[in-house]
Amino acid sequence: MLKRIIILVPVLLTLVALLVFTQVNRGLAQTSDDAIKNAMSAAPMSIAMDATIMGWPTKAGGDLSVLRKGTNDWTCFPDDPTSPGNDPACYDKTWMAWIPALVSKTEPKTAVPGFAYMLQGGSTASNTDPFASLPLTDTKWQTDAPHIMVIIPGKWDTKAFATKMSTGGPYVMWAGTPYEHLMVPVTDVDAMNMDAMK
């Protein structure tokens, strides 16, 4: 799919483990230009235009590649080949430090709020289990509306926020785990996803 250019330093190297962990490689043929364009669609252009753009490995266990070196503190990835939807994402440096904790199943040490964009939406195997790579046999992939994700030091107040996908309101994903984060939809939830909210 994409030719490796360079291996990133520790934080991004750890993302390779995330790739293996989720059994990446749907085998999509995608040029570097296509991947960069797709990755940039995840965030506002003011962020995406200067972000570092990463490419997924061509096979499980392979290396991430830098498709374009950025000049700001954001890192964007094209569509995740492990999920059925189109879900590119852009992460700030707080999120990029948080992801290795998820991979290693350790407690994140989040000192300041972190923000991430998924303006094309996303597909989630589980809204409650951060380590689920596929939905349970009696459930379907949850399709999230275009959204912003927020992490904070400490916990989210689940009395103030829902813990399931709601009709356009913010909700906590993976509530009660060290990896909980706030999902903030930026458009109306597609009516086709209403069953997933019940």
pTM to 2 decimal places: 0.79
Q: Residue 84's CB: how many other CB atoms inside 10 A?
A: 12
Query: What is the model's pLDDT at position 47?
Result: 97
Residue type, 139: T
Alpha carbons 50 and 136: distance in angstroms, whole number: 38
Query: What is the model's pLDDT at position 13?
Result: 40
Query: What is the model's pLDDT at position 16?
Result: 38
pLDDT (tens digit per residue) in 32-77: 899 999 999 999 999 999 999 999 887 777 888 899 999 999 999 9
Determine contact, residues 24/60, Cβ cutoff 8 Å.
yes
